[in-house]
Amino acid sequence: MTSPKLALSDSGAVSATADAVVVGTVQGADGLRLAPGADQLAEAFGGGLIDTLLLLGATGKADEVIKLPTGGAVGAPLLVAVGLGRPGRDGRVTAEQARRASGAAARAMGGVGRAVTTLSAIDIGAAAEGSVLGAYAFTRYQSDNGANKPLRRVDLLVPSAKDAAAKAELKRATVVADGVTLARNLVNTPPNDLYPGSFAKQAAELAGDAGMEAEVLDEKALRKGGFGGVLGVGLGSSRPPRLVRLHYRPASPRAKVALVGKGVTFDTGGISIKPSQDMELMTCDMAGAAAVVAVAVTVARLKLAVEVIATVPMVENMPSGTAYRPGDVLTMYGGKTVEVLNTDAEGRLILGDAIARACEDEPDYLIETSTLTGGQVIALGARIAGVMGEPALRDRVTAHAQATGEGGWAMPLPDELRADLDSKLADMANVTGHRWASMLIGGVFLQEFVADGVLWAHVDIAGPAYNNSGPYGYTGKGATGVPVRTLSAVLADIAANG
């Protein structure tokens, strides 16, 4: 799980001392061509590099990796040609294409000690992030975890290794990529080791290391504080719930931002139990909480001029003789009452408590993220998050999700859907009697707990948080770390512009 070391280098692709050199290939209208940064390599191969790659079957399509020995033409013995796909209408490849290609190259270079990459000529930050994320492997529980050693070091080729802007961008990208790695590690940790108590302890330790304040509310404090949603969901587990509060206070913040993340460390569905098939994937139901903890740490490490208060509820949703039931009425933090119609709609219950508490801090913005609904996957698929909330902030978050390559799509919260949550017993029910617009219904429920005047956004990452298919780009199988890069970019934007 050790990330490769990143460094800037101006030694050039031909003379660089390394085990491998990475070059990009692009699908063009007139055939295969080399990406920016590869001119010296093309000359070193006597102008025949494209022809050699074509003989080896190269097309330049995204994620394609072709390896060939350099035969002494350059300092590195191995050349790794990675496809970027087709350029945009302006003829240029994007930062996300460079990020994805860097990840594909890093995944293909297991066992390589040191590599130099020319993809930094496209975008330094993207090449850095892609290299770290592509090299990621979670091997903590493998007895022979040294069998396939990941890439150890990547030198990013730049005109000048002393350039201040290049140094700053490399630092930013490294810190953000480390944040994604942290979130991935938390989500990939099995639920027998990551449960509310251990998760809370680890979050507090991470906060302390980053210079933040941390507060952990145990079940007694939750009961005293009236956190009925968190307590209700946690009733069925022998591992009691927690609520963690992390606080980053810069000297002169531009704004105050509340972050909230769903932390269900394992979700059986409770009494409304899930089917057994794929239930093991419910270890990722705390991906929102993992992302929020990682983002708070990232903001503190980057020393951004924005105050951040993260409120993270942590529970295990289990069926037992003490579990909450369909038909129960819970009194939430702040006094609203909720009739439970389905115990598998538990995330919105713990988030309702957390959002209500976070609003008491009077933030300028509130951003919450969660693996909330299967409806997100039905509507947008496994890679595109649904973003809801106050329109301006919703669209701002969506723009950063798309710019970072994590993906997001703005969705509405129609007023008429609120009536579908009416209850015969309580202020509202936790689900409707139908399956229509289920992703939006989740957002409508959460909106009830947002205080008047607070600009808020809800990011549903039910699909994007976990990749259960084959690896692609910089994303391997398992936890993705979404939406750490999105939220980090949003907070950097707020720190700069308010």
Positions annotated as catalytic residues are 274, 348
Q: Would strands 478-479 and 466-467 be described as parallel, antiparallel, or unpaired? A: antiparallel
Judged on CB neighbours under 10 Å (0-12, 13-18, 19+), 252 is exposed
State the Cα–Cα distance between residues 487 and 396, nearest whole angstrom: 10
State the Cα–Cα distance between residues 251 and 399, nearest whole angstrom: 28
- Output Rg (C-alpha) for the chain, integer angstroms: 24
Judged on CB neighbours under 10 Å (0-12, 13-18, 19+), 286 is buried
What's the chain's length in residues?
498
- 483 cis-preceded (ω within 30 degrees of 0): yes
SS3 7: strand
State the Cα–Cα distance between residues 52 and 69, nearest whole angstrom: 11
Angle between helices 287-302 and 196-209 (to 10 degrees): 10
State the Cα–Cα distance between residues 64 and 482, nearest whole angstrom: 24
User: Which residues in 10-54 belong to E strands, given as ranges?
Assistant: 20-28, 31-34
- Where residue 381 falls (left for φ over 0; alpha for ψ -120 to 50; beta otherwise) is left
Is residue 417 within 8 Å of residue 437, measured between CB atoms?
Answer: yes
Question: What are the φ/ψ torsions at residue 350 (nearest 5 degrees)?
Answer: -75, -30
Sheet holding 337-339, edge to edge: 329-331, 337-339, 428-429
Give the H or E element holding residue 331: strand 329-331
Angle at 478 between CA 476 and CA 481, to 5 degrees: 85
State the Cα–Cα distance between residues 459 and 410, nearest whole angstrom: 9
Q: Find all residues with CB under 8 Å of 360, minimum gap 6, and list them.
A: 451
Name the token pair of 74. Answer: 């350059």
Beta carbons within 10 angstroms of residue 321's beta carbon: 6
State the Cα–Cα distance between residues 98 and 106, nearest whole angstrom: 12
SS3 215: strand
Question: What distance, in Å, lies between the first and last C-alpha atoms of the chain?
Answer: 36
From residue 148, give the alpha-carbon distance in Å to each of 91, 109, 139, 144, 471: 38, 10, 10, 9, 16
Is residue 6 within 8 Å of residue 133, measured between CB atoms?
Answer: no
